[in-house]
Amino acid sequence: MELYATLEDLPSYIFYQKFNEDDGSTYKSSCKAEEKIGSDEKLVELCSKILKNLKLLDETQNGDIFHNKRCNDLNYWISEQLYKKHDVKEERLMNSNTYIQLYISLHNIRQKLRIHDKCSIDINDITTEEKTRRKNLYDYYENYGTLEEIFTKDKNKCKKEHYDYLTKCVNLYIDTKKLCTQENIGVSSKCPPLFNHSAIYCPRKNLSEMPCELKVQTESSVELADTDRMTGKEDLRAPPKEDVTMSGDRSDTDASSEPSPSLSKTVISTSIPALGSCFFFFILYRWTPVGSIIRNRLLNRGGEINELHNNVGVELWEDTMEPLNINSDRNGYQLAYQSL
């Protein structure tokens, strides 16, 4: 069986996490001095944390109706630490030499330091499965009131994670109630010690019934949630807009139409050399001997072209306009034609 109360908004989960806080260094020297565990650094650390947590329970017991329940939580936490971090394999901790040495050491230290908290380290011979079942049941008692406040504000509608948690707890309570009835002779010894505390923890509540209904999302709310998620993704993908500082009454259009400084620099850098080259060739053509040679050649070439043009024109005229021959037989005129 797994732990049911794993939602971070549940009171039992919040308090249970306090057992993991701090390192218990205040009691480390006392645990280190114990002969049975002093040579095992990991057990010394666990011993220190257990003493720190016993001190925590001692400080919070006044007015806490769940004090006995929290003692059960601490015993469950100890077994959890032994299984996860200290390689304990035995299903029943009483069969583990590691647990026996830790138990004796804690008893001695509590006597020396006069730690008189009413919580006792669990020596009961029960399985890990049974410990988990009891914790789930007691957590149900502790969390019921808080969950009731939540779903009462929403017309007895539970969100899915709370509904799933309560469903498992109700089924567990029904099974445990059957186990604890007087008719079940021979199994009543397996009834959790705090089972009857339900009347104290949850007075006038029927823990065998689901206290709320599952809150079902409508199609419109689902579509709205999807739209919100898509909008969020688009916002993440959209690049940030840069702020543009405007002066006077200039509009964004005017600002965007002006050439950028880099473009102006490019135009200037290419125009100046081109103008310089044109000016150089003009001076060379106009006032140097090289320019005179170029002009003479161009003038001579122009004269040759004109003469050639005139000659060609005369030849074409002569070829196309031959003298008219009168054909007396046909009483007509004949024009000579020569194809080009």
User: Which residues are CB-neighbours of 204 under 8 A, at least 6 positions away?
Assistant: none
**pLDDT attached to residue 168:** 97
**pLDDT value at 281 more than 70:** no
In this predicted structure, which of 82-86, 208-212, 299-303 has the lowest mean pLDDT? 299-303
pLDDT band with cut points at 50, 70 and 90 for residue 301: low
Q: Looking at residues 27-40, what average pLDDT do you find?
A: 92
**pLDDT attached to residue 257:** 46
**pLDDT attached to residue 328:** 43
Q: What proportion of the chain, given as a percentage, has pLDDT over 90?
A: 36
Using H for helix, E for strand and C for coil, what is the string for the chain? CCCCCCCCCCHHHHHHHHHHCCCCHHHHHHHHCCCCCCCCHHHHHHHHHHHHHHHHHHHHCCCCCCHHHHHHHHHHHHHHHHHHHCCCCCCCHHHCHHHHHHHHHHHHHHHHHCCCCCCCCCCCCCCHHHHHHHHHHHHHHHHHHHHHHHHHCCCCEECHHHHHHHHHHHHHHHHHHHHCCCCCCCCHHHCCCCHHHHHHHCCCCCCCCCCCEECCCCHHHHHHHHHHHHHHHHHHHCCCCCCCCCCCCCCHHHHHHCCCHHHHHHHHHHHHHHHHHHHHHHHHHHHCHHHHHHHHHHHHHHHHHHHHHHHHHHHHHHHHCCCCEEECCCCEEECCCCCC
pTM of the model: 0.62
Q: Looking at residues 19-42, what average pLDDT do you find?
A: 90
User: Which residues are CB-neighbours of 331 under 8 A, at least 6 positions away?
Assistant: none
What tens digit of pLDDT does each residue of 169-212 get?
999 999 999 888 765 555 556 788 888 888 888 888 999 999 99
Query: Residue 198: which of 187, 207, 189 has the closest Cα?
Result: 207
What tens digit of pLDDT does each residue of 89-139 get?
887 888 889 999 999 999 999 888 877 667 888 777 788 888 999 999 999
**pLDDT value at 53 more than 50:** yes
**pLDDT value at 329 more than 70:** no
| CB distance 200 to 64 below 8 Å | no
**pLDDT attached to residue 300:** 58
What tens digit of pLDDT does each residue of 232-254 get?
545 545 444 444 444 444 444 44
| CB distance 50 to 119 below 8 Å | no
Per-residue tokens: 305: 């072209």
Q: Looking at residues 134-157, what average pLDDT do you find?
A: 93
Q: Residue 135's CB: how many other CB atoms inside 10 A? A: 24
Round to whole Å and give the CA distance between 275 and 271. Answer: 6
Q: Which amino acid is at 232?
A: G
**pLDDT attached to residue 288:** 72
**pLDDT attached to residue 273:** 67
Average pLDDT, the chain: 75
Query: Residue 139: which of 205, 204, 197, 52 has the closest Cα?
Result: 197
**pLDDT attached to residue 66:** 84
| CB distance 53 to 119 below 8 Å | no
Query: Residue 212: which of 161, 163, 146 has the closest Cα?
Result: 163
**pLDDT attached to residue 263:** 53
Does 196 or 257 have the greater pLDDT score?
A: 196
Per-residue tokens: 6: 């794993």
